[in-house]
Amino acid sequence: MGNSMAYAVLRTTDAAEAYAKGRRLCAFLEERGDEIQLCAELLTVADVRRMATALPEARFRKVPVRPAPAAGDGLWHELDLMAADDAILTAELPLTIMEDVRRWSAEERFVQALGLGYAAIDWCGRWPDEPETDSYGTWSCDGVQVVFNGDNPQWSGWAAHHTVFVHVGKMGDLPRARRLAARIGSEVLGEPLLGR
């Protein structure tokens, strides 16, 4: 969803509701990517252990990212997160994950493992062309995003609620965003934000 415009279409304190509404919106994408992205900030040892159980293949990264000695890339954790002592894990917090996984393969486990840190599920796709309203889908900018414990489509700030965004093109498309919001019994909430 590079350089998209994101419209908030739902805010709720119920993570399961946010996920269900986001998944419902995905049904309206004409094309969907085979992979989705899962991101989470893990603030406690319990968060890390739950997420490691939910996504056993995930790679965990320390925040702030420490540069690797030669590669200049972030340093991934090689600890056995399930076996590591609580004191060792506490010293490494917070950790983050950012994983691309097959669509519908891990989202429910991911939502059940969430803690209080910022997290997101990003489904990329393309909205259908609607020539009668001069609205055309864009593969690189369309999609659905559920942000948990936040209200910004970028890693920016914490909130006590979860937000569902529709990403609609590079320049935005308020009429389409309104139509999509109506399909889940909601409305557009506020101004568009720069998406991912």
- As beta bridge partners, residue 89 has none
Give the DSSP H or E segment for 194. strand 193-194
Query: What is the pairing mode between strands 162-167 and 5-12?
Result: antiparallel
Distance CA 188, CA 86 (A): 43
> Domain-by-domain residue ranges, the chain?
5-194
Beta strand ranges found along 23-82 (DSSP E): 31-42, 60-62
Residue with the bigger pLDDT between 3 and 21: it is 21
Q: What is the pLDDT of residues 119-159, one digit of tens each?
A: 999 999 999 999 999 999 999 999 999 999 999 999 888 99
pLDDT at 182: 98
Lowest mean pLDDT among 56-60, 74-78, 86-90, 95-99: 74-78
Distance CA 46, CA 42 (A): 9
pLDDT reading at 1 higher than 80: no
| Contact residues for 152 (Cβ-Cβ < 8 A; gap 6+) | 163, 193
